[in-house]
Amino acid sequence: MFKVNDNFLKLPGSYLFSTIAKKVNAYSKAHPDKTLIRLGIGDVTQPLAPAIIDALHKSVDEMAHAESFHGYAPDLGYEFLRTAIVKNDYTSRGCEISADEIFVSDGAKCDSGNIQELFALDNKIAVCDPVYPVYVDSNVMAGRTGVYDLSTERWSQVIYMPCTKENNFVPEFPKEQPDLIYLCIPNNPTGTTITKAQLQEWVNYANKIGAVIIYDAAYEAYISEEDVPHSIYECEGARTCAIELRSFSKNAGFTGVRLGFTVVPKDLKSGEVSLHDMWARRHGTKYNGAPYIVQRAGEAVYSEAGKAQLKEQVAYYMKNAAAIKSGLTEAGYEVFGGVNAPYIWLKTPEHMTSWDFFDYLLENANVVGTPGSGFGPCGEGYFRLTAFGSHENTKAALKRLKAL
Amino acid sequence: MFKVNDNFLKLPGSYLFSTIAKKVNAYSKAHPDKTLIRLGIGDVTQPLAPAIIDALHKSVDEMAHAESFHGYAPDLGYEFLRTAIVKNDYTSRGCEISADEIFVSDGAKCDSGNIQELFALDNKIAVCDPVYPVYVDSNVMAGRTGVYDLSTERWSQVIYMPCTKENNFVPEFPKEQPDLIYLCIPNNPTGTTITKAQLQEWVNYANKIGAVIIYDAAYEAYISEEDVPHSIYECEGARTCAIELRSFSKNAGFTGVRLGFTVVPKDLKSGEVSLHDMWARRHGTKYNGAPYIVQRAGEAVYSEAGKAQLKEQVAYYMKNAAAIKSGLTEAGYEVFGGVNAPYIWLKTPEHMTSWDFFDYLLENANVVGTPGSGFGPCGEGYFRLTAFGSHENTKAALKRLKAL
């Protein structure tokens, strides 16, 4: 008689964004006359840049002829894309990463969910609180997180690193020693970040205690300040302690196109065992590559035209971020983030809970955001808005928020 | 100090097709003057059908405008695709499957690797021998397979069901009771199949012992005989014991486009726990949907034009299969499969081992096939050729084989 993986049953409720989608759909159904403005999930709204559209059409045409048709992709991804990544994202920033350390995938969500498979089940993870839910949930499913305590909303075997306005959203080294440390910088959900010097301390710490940092840099394109690192490999010693996850979703609007990559340096080892080899084995066994046409689209992101067009696209969203930040500040809200990231993190007014504020905004302003508590207990009393709407919608949402 | 998942270290050698790719690349490098013909991995060679190319161009254009741009896809896949799947693959065959039981993915390889996550680690799997390596390897990585015995080439906690010419390649119910049963029909690698009546017995057996059948129907488009089932849901009672995996790779040439789906009926339960809900949770947490443009391409597979064009494409490959089968038979080989599947399974001549025959063909005929032993110990002494080449290459390969 088969038995299920009962770690799944420990998960409280459904995946955060599925819950929000259900709530919003129910509200829409009950109020078909209301026009909702969605600043909830981090989904982009601007169309793909012309350089990317061109690359897609061109590669679709290639697929129409036997001579230029492409079947299964190489295990790690096409050389043309991995080379463009290395040149533009690493060599140009002085990071020593080679093309065969890049693993192309269909997005950072899959990679952040799958990467834990490389580690023993008794390894202890440390996460920021609040945090992107996938890091914890994927470890719950694997059975690495112990027991969930409903009163504290915490797992017994997870080390939480609070990030609140009290510590300026900078995590401190935990008292208990972790084996795996998830860091997302610029941060989702708080929109805040840390300096290169601060990240260097984390790299030194990880090397000292023999931990691996899983570094999610999905939002690096939004960095505007000089001393914020774009890659963990800007720090000395990161090649022996860090895996970096990257996404094309936010810098190039690929949320519906699906492309990402993971960097596993060959120097990252446990004794003689290379994590690079292990990830290659996983990729070869359980994954079959990103579509050829999508990898060509990814290559176009690094073309001269693509870079110029996407710089404008990022600036478009960051204009929203600045408008939300200043608008809400004027309206008396306490607001964080939005300078090096497309997320604005605000304190809910009058000590409302995050979900109460979610319902309040949905019902009274028809604006959809994300409750901070959905990202962890220290997110309680906070709320996330994204800058990924259109200028018009963002302006309209601000007007509604100010009118409350 | 972090520790690795040492289940990975138990895997003997690398993933079969990665090993072959390395061997072939080494040979090519050493003999740049030789023209290799690849009938090894099951990769297609014909271009995408015109109806699919049209759908891709059209949806790429949609992505170029804010009004028709598509970001994150719905968790289970787009309704338009799931509806087309249900109508054409299930309702039309009298199978009772609804659109919300379809989970769209980026391919059957990922799904067949990931599906084991739903089950307890002490569940025992049964596989045909020989078998597609992903079923076993993904269970090894999860820690479900016990110890590998180098002399028998078998895992202590895996139940093997031999499929050889002696039993007409039809697996028998195992002596020991399994919890999960992997069946791939039409079969990869042997190219053989079973009748609907035989599959009904497997469904009855699974329901009786409380096992789940993971049914891989990736090759169903190649079925030419009447009494061979296209879906396990043609059998009575399959809704309470079977998960079905489907691929667009072989029926529509999507090996480089990446699209598949998994069917998890809502009646499939362990007590009160629904596997459908669990898979939905996994999809929501660790996956972010197939690209919009690829899902539109999938929809075009089911258009009238698409169906007609793909019928021709399948016929093209099956003409190869028939030519290989008759050509090799004439040349004195003992040959199986190739009637309801694009694979030909042959006995190696003069009791050569599978890898010896691989090297022999590579070096003397410059033809690349797949050694049967790579699929399991009962595949030793067999060899797989695929029908996915062009007519010209298939003809040329046959000529070389006959000349040996």
Percent of chain B predicted with pLDDT > 70:
100
Structural contact between residues A287 and B106, judged by C-beta atoms closer than 8 angstroms: no
pLDDT number for residue B13: 73
- Does the pLDDT at position A128 exceed 80? yes
A154-155 vs A158-162, strand pairing mode: unpaired
In the three-class reduction of DSSP (H, G, I as helix; E, B as strand; rest coil), residue A63 is classed as: coil
> What residues in A contact B278, CB-CB < 8 Å?
4-5, 8
Q: Mark yes or no for CB contact B141/A209 under 8 Å.
A: no
Q: What is the ipTM of this complex?
A: 0.96
In A101-241, at which residue ranges do the beta strands (DSSP E only) sit? Answer: 102-105, 125-129, 148-149, 154-155, 158-162, 180-184, 212-216
Structure tokens at B247: 């691929």
Summarised one tens digit per residue, pLDDT across range B358-397 is: 999 999 999 999 999 999 999 999 999 999 999 999 999 9
- Does the pLDDT at position B58 exceed 90? yes
Search chain B and give the residue with CA nearest A252: B71
Query: From the list B66, B256, B270, which residue is nearest A71 (CB)?
Result: B256
Q: CA separation (Å) from B264 to A71, A102, A394, B214, B277?
A: 28, 34, 40, 10, 9
- Does the pLDDT at position B41 exceed 90? no
Q: Mark yes or no for CB contact A286/B72 under 8 Å.
A: no
In the three-class reduction of DSSP (H, G, I as helix; E, B as strand; rest coil), residue B168 is classed as: coil
> What residues in A contact B18, CB-CB < 8 Å?
75, 284
How far is the C-alpha of A296 from the C-alpha of A293, rounded, in Å? 5
pLDDT classification of A299: cutoffs 50, 70, 90: very high
Q: Mark yes or no for CB contact A48/B70 under 8 Å.
A: no
pLDDT number for residue B87: 98
Tally C-beta pairs within 8 A across A and B. 246
Mean confidence (pLDDT) of chain A: 96
Summarised one tens digit per residue, pLDDT across range A342-352 is: 999 999 999 99
Give the number of other Cβ atoms within 10 Å of residue B57's Cβ: 17
Could you tell me the fold of the domain covering A8-47+305-403? Aspartate Aminotransferase, domain 1 (3.90.1150)
Query: What average pLDDT does the segment B247-271 reach?
Result: 98
Query: Was B343 annotated as part of a binding site?
Result: no
In the three-class reduction of DSSP (H, G, I as helix; E, B as strand; rest coil), residue B14 is classed as: coil
Instruction: Please tell me if the domain spanning B8-47+305-403 has the same topology as the one spanning B54-303.
Output: no
A125-129 vs A180-184, strand pairing mode: parallel
Query: Was B72 annotated as part of a binding site?
Result: yes
Q: Mark yes or no for CB contact B290/A46 under 8 Å.
A: no
Amino acid letter, B363: E
Q: Mark yes or no for CB contact B1/A209 under 8 Å.
A: yes
pLDDT number for residue A356: 97
Among B276, B274, B292, residue whose Cα is nearest residue B284: B276
How far is the C-alpha of A220 from the C-alpha of A202, rounded, in Å? 18
Query: Was B22 annotated as part of a binding site?
Result: no
Query: From the list B41, B138, B291, which residue is nearest A285 (CB)?
Result: B138
Search chain B and give the residue with CA nearest A54: B60
Query: What average pLDDT does the segment B31-44 reach?
Result: 92
Summarised one tens digit per residue, pLDDT across range B66-108 is: 999 999 999 899 999 999 999 999 999 999 999 999 999 999 9
- Does the pLDDT at position B311 exceed 90? yes
CA B194 to the chain's CA centroid: 16
What is the b/e burial string over A200-220, where b = at least 16 CB atoms within 10 angstroms of the residue's CB? bebbebbbeeebbbbbbbbbb
Q: Mark yes or no for CB contact A141/B282 under 8 Å.
A: yes
Query: What average pLDDT does the segment B185-189 reach?
Result: 97
* B336 contact partners, CB below 8 Å, separation of at least 6: B165, B169, B190, B191, B192, B344, B345, B346
Q: Answer yes or no: CATH 3.40.640.10 is held by domain A53-304.
A: yes
- B339 DSSP 8-state letter: S
* B217 contact partners, CB below 8 Å, separation of at least 6: B184, B185, B230, B231, B232, B244, B245, B246
pLDDT classification of A92: cutoffs 50, 70, 90: very high
Q: Which of A166-170, A215-219, B37-41, B45-49 has the lowest mean pLDDT?
A: B37-41
Structural contact between residues B268 and B240, judged by C-beta atoms closer than 8 angstroms: yes
Half-sphere exposure of B114 (CA within 13 A, CB side): 28
Nearest-Cα distance to chain B for A271, in Å, is: 9
Give the residue extent of every domain in chain B. Answer: 8-47+305-403, 54-303
CB neighbour class for A99 (10 Å; exposed up to 12, middle 13-18, buried from 19): middle
pLDDT number for residue A312: 98
CATH number for the region B54-303 comes to 3.40.640.10
Q: Which of A14-18, A325-329, B231-235, B299-303 has the lowest mean pLDDT?
A: A14-18
How far is the C-alpha of A385 from the C-alpha of A246, rounded, in Å? 22
A292-301 vs A50-62: helix crossing angle, rounded to 10: 150
